[in-house]
Amino acid sequence: MATNAPINANTVKSGRDVFVDFFLVVVILAILSLAAILGFLLLSRSRSTIVPQDISFLQPTDDPIQSSVTDEAANPVVWEENGMTWTIQPQASYQIAARVLGNKRYYDWQSGVVPRDLALGWGDMSEPSVDEWIHWEQFDRLYHYEWNNGAYSRGYITGHSANVHIIPATDNLDEALRQVEKNELVYLEGYLVDLQVRDGSRVGHVNTSLSREDTGAGAKC
C-alpha cells in the first residue's frame, strides 16, 4: 500500500535557521531516504523538466507516493567502478512531482555515482511565492533554509521539502538533470535505496530513511 515519503530536519541551528538532509538517490533503479539517504532511481526522462501533462495522478501539490518493493525489484544492484564495489539495495518504490528549489553538483567520495543533489519542494512549497519568506541553500550534501513568516511552521517546511541525492541511471538522465534549473517542475520515479561502497577493507554506506518521523544525521527506519 502506498504511503507518503519521509522527510527530516538534520540539524536545527537556531530559531528559524534549519539544515535538512533528504537523501534521494536517483539511478533509474533506486530511491528515497531522509537524514541518511533517499535512494531514488530516476526511471524515465528525456529533456523534460516539466511535469508531463499525462501525469495527472500526481502533481507538485501532492505528497510523494511510496510503496514497498517486492520480487525482482527488491534485488540488490552491484557493480564495479574505479576499483570499488558499489551496492544499491532498493527499499521502496517512489514517485514525486515537485518544484526545484536548487540543483547542486558535488565532488566528493560518492560523486562518481551520486553526482548531484536536487532540493525539491511540494505541497505549498511547490509555489515560488513562498520564496518571499523562505531562503534556500545547498552545501555539504544538505539543504539549508531560513524563514521569517509565521504562515509556515518548521514542521510543514521540512515535511514538504527534501534534499535529493541523485544517481542518474544513464548518461541521458545525467545530462537532463544537469540542465534542471530552480523553479522548474519535475516528475521523478524510482526506488528508495541503501547505498554501500567497498574499497578493499574499507566500507562506506548510507541507509535510506522510510519514515518522516526520523530526525538528526544518520536517521533511518
Mean of pLDDT over the chain: 72
| Grid cell locating 35 | 537524514
Contact 119, 102 (CB under 8 A): yes
Please tell me which residue, 91 or 170, carries the higher pLDDT value.
91
| Confidence tier at 219 by pLDDT (50, 70, 90) | very low
In the chain, where does DSSP find H-type helix?
A: 154-159, 171-178
Q: Give residue 211's pLDDT band: very low, low, confident or very high (50, 70, 90).
A: low
Q: What's the start-to-end Cα distance of the chain, in Å?
A: 17
Residue extents of the structural domains in the chain: 11-206
Average pLDDT (26-48) is 35
Share of the chain above pLDDT 70, in %: 69
Cα–Cα distance for residue pair 125/128, rounded to 1 Å: 7
Q: Using a pLDDT cut of 90, give the percent of the chain over it.
A: 18
Task: Report the C-alpha gap between 142 and 173 in whole angstroms.
Answer: 22
In a 3-state reduction of DSSP, which class is residue 181? Answer: coil
| pTM for the predicted model, two decimal places | 0.74
Per DSSP, what are the bridge partners of residue 197? 86, 204
Q: Which residue has the higher pLDDT, 55 or 10?
A: 55
Model confidence pLDDT, tens digit, residues 82-118: 888 999 888 888 888 899 999 999 998 888 888 999 9
User: If residue 95 lies in a helix (H) or strand (E), which one and from where to where?
Assistant: strand 84-105
Locate 207 and state its grid cell.
Answer: 541507509
- Whether residue 62 contacts residue 4, with contact meaning beta carbons closer than 8 Å, is answered with no
Per-residue pLDDT at 119 exceeds 80: yes
pLDDT in tens, 199-210: 888 888 777 777
102: which 3 cell numbers?
Answer: 536548487
How many angstroms from the chain centroid is the CA of residue 184?
Answer: 16
